[in-house]
A and B are shown apart, each in its own frame.
Chain A
């Protein structure tokens, strides 16, 4: 039997988990379960980043996305205690709305898959000269603080603005 590379098996496993979890996020009625499934999807994506020789991005994904943004979503879902909605698809689509929705979504996914699979067939290079410095956190740090320093500063102001804005918007009028 031909040697099946461990990377390929891991890729398909993580990809399957990510796709199934995302489908369930969109298809679930209960928003609490949707949030938990999205966390599972983020975990699978983090595994894919590790496969791509990006351990720093993988860990940052868990810390920022799964550990902070999702906690924010969870708090809002719990505090609002919103009931699941009545219709899952817009009423304007008629009584067969769900079937039309699924068909159109599959058409969109099919187009995306067809378009992307024609881009390139070359394999990732495994030359250590190319991959060696890739995962180095030091290189990422140097890149952020020299080439992309402006974006870094602007992002910090953006976070400050978002923080203040969120507090002001969600404030109860006294």
Chain B
């Protein structure tokens, strides 16, 4: 039978995949995509625990997390566009000096 453990383990695996992507990939867009994976893992945890406790608050918080993720993706991508225009590359290693 399905239990809370199943969903929490899955969410842990997804979160660690996202974390590995953020630390190890050298492409700004892939880093942003990995952040989205992490946010989704957290959403899954919220909904699963909400279902376990029998309240609807888990889904409400998920609603807000999705909205904040949208706002963050928009601003993050605007930054990526602006950075790309400057150095013509998407690798974060090109932006290591503190000069603009």
Contacts and interface: CB of A to CB of B under 8 A. Distances in A.
Interface of A: 5, 7-8, 11, 15, 18-19, 22-23, 25-26, 28, 31, 34-35, 38, 41-42, 45, 48-49, 51-54, 56-57, 60-61, 64-65, 68-69, 72-73, 76-77, 79-80, 82, 84-91, 101, 104-105, 108-109, 112-113, 115-117, 119-125, 130-131, 133-134, 136, 139-140, 143-144, 147-148, 151-152, 155, 158-159, 161-163, 165-167, 169-170, 172
B3 A124 contact: yes
Nearest to B52: A124
Nearest to A154: B64
Contact of B2 (A11, A18, A61, A167): A11
A147 to B, nearest CB: 8
Interface of B: 1-21, 24-27, 29-30, 32-34, 36-37, 40, 43-44, 47-48, 50-52, 54-60, 62-64, 66-75, 77-82, 84-85, 89-91, 93
A25 B20 contact: no
11 contacts: A22-B17, A26-B20, A28-B30, A45-B43, A80-B90, A85-B26, A112-B13, A148-B60, A151-B64, A162-B74, A166-B74
A155 B64 contact: yes
Contacts of B93: 90-91
A90 B23 CA distance: 9
Contact of A5 (B1, B64, B80): B1
B66 A26 contact: no
B62 A25 contact: no
Contacts of A22: 14, 17-18, 37
Contacts of A41: 37, 40
